[in-house]
Amino acid sequence: MMRLLNSSGASSSVTTLKIETPRVFLPLLKPARYKGIRGGRGSGKSHFLTELLVEESLTEHIRCACLREIQNSIKDSVKQLLEDKIRKLGVERLFRITENEITGPNDSLFVFRGLRNHTVSSIKSLEGFNRAFVEEAQTITQKSIDIAVPTFRVPGASMSFAWNPERPDAPIEKFFDENKGDPDFVLVHANFYNNPWFAGSPLQRDMERDRERDPDKYAWVWLGGFQGRSEARVFRNWKVEEFDTPADAVFRFGADWGFAVDPTVLVRGYLKGRTLYIDHEAYAVGCEVDKTPALFDKVPKSRDYRITADSARPEVVSYMRRHGFPKIVPAIKGQGSIEDGIAFLQSFDIVVHPRCENVIRELGAYSYKIDKMTDEILPVLDDKDNHTIDALRYALEGLRRAGVAPKPEVVDTTTPRDRYARGRVEQQDDGGFYG
């Protein structure tokens, strides 16, 4: 999206700027007391927020504190990024850049501070500031939030936060999670695929390398999932890989319904031998029931195949049957069905197409609970990061209940065990799937 900005300099001349804005960030252009962008590397989070601050300083009086938890020197701040944005917009003549601060039109001011160095008393020096930008917000402590939030309280003040998720219990995660639905809070999730300038950048090859070699790291660093203890992760039997879906594939569809801030999800996969291939997903947060057919249509052939859906919303299942999805059926739940479904998924090798970003993110994040007192991994599934995973359970439910097991690898013991012979044997049993 392109937005236009008219700014006036000291000479009263009017400058019209054309500022390109990724669509994912549009909600942040509206007034809000607290704005947050969470997501992976390469999304342009800090770039967008610093550019927005420069833009605001051109048309109104902005006094902005650019904050981090720890800032040992000015090099640790976003000052250089702000300077780059000023040059990119071609408005250098309107700003004065010194070693420690930036001043601009409308008596605007940018300063740079470390939150950990502040106390309740010392941070009073920032009272009267009407903007705050907190970078690397995943590192800020609850103490820092408690000190900073009351400081920026003049009329029209706002605080912006950018962070790469690390832990679901991080103070910044709790700050936004506990205020879901509050109109003063706006939060967007953005990753590299939301950034129209990512393709061809130096980061692209880094992303592709992690996607190919380390799916857990890819899900955390690039897709903005939580960093978890590798030994607590539920799924280790998966990888991300591009593939062509065969024309004779027999598809399995599973759906999970969203509530309020939870996503509505449809996933599609097929089985070939002992491998589950996941090639399409549809995912939308806050999806209204009447919008669900259009969402499901994003997955090819979803109207032609049986869809096994979460049985918690029978009215939605009924609605979908009446609106072009006659083969949708509710899942059969019961004691142990979650654990059995997860164990069934674990019994396959899983290959995920790169376009299924939410499946990838959840496979990397889904974990067993960890005892906070003992740090022991418990044999209990953590009920989060599991919307696409629930949909996958439902997709394979019929096979699981029918007692179908993954095909064992066929090995001809009379054939020499060299890698070429092994390849020939495996090719003899690649036909596929049960049903």
pLDDT tens sequence across 225-256: 887 766 788 898 898 889 999 999 999 999 99
What is the share, in percent, of the chain residues with pLDDT greater than 90?
A: 63
3-state helix, strand, coil in the chain (%, to 5): 35, 25, 40
Span 55-111, pLDDT tens digits: 999 999 999 999 999 988 888 899 999 999 999 999 999 999 999 999 999 999 999
Three-state DSSP at 16 gives strand
SS3 363: helix
Question: Which residue has tokens 């809000």?
Answer: 32
Which residues, 6+ apart, have CB-to-CB distance to 53 below 8 Å? 62, 64, 82, 110, 131, 133, 160
> Which residue segments constitute the domains of the chain, with CATH numbers given?
24-194 (3.40.50.300), 203-401 (3.30.420.280)
Cα–Cα distance for residue pair 331/62, rounded to 1 Å: 54
More confident residue, 170 or 118: 170
| Mean pLDDT, range 344-355, rounded to an integer | 93
pLDDT band, residue 409 (cuts 50/70/90):
very low
* Tokens (6 digits) for 435: 């049903």
* pLDDT at res. 216: 83
* pLDDT tens digits, one per residue of 287-330: 999 999 999 999 999 999 999 999 999 999 999 999 999 999 99
Average per-residue pLDDT for the chain: 86
Per-residue pLDDT of 182-230, as tens digits, reads: 999 999 999 999 999 999 999 999 999 988 888 888 888 999 988 776 6
Predicted confidence band of residue 414 (pLDDT cuts 50, 70, 90): very low
Q: Which residue type is seen at 428?
A: Q
- Residue 14: the pLDDT is 56
Helices (H), 4-104: 45-59, 79-88
Residue type, 144: S
pTM here is 0.72
The predicted pLDDT at position 43 comes to 95
Q: Give the pLDDT of residue 410.
A: 43
Question: What's residue 420's pLDDT?
Answer: 28
pLDDT reported for residue 405: 64
Q: What is the pLDDT of residue 407?
A: 52
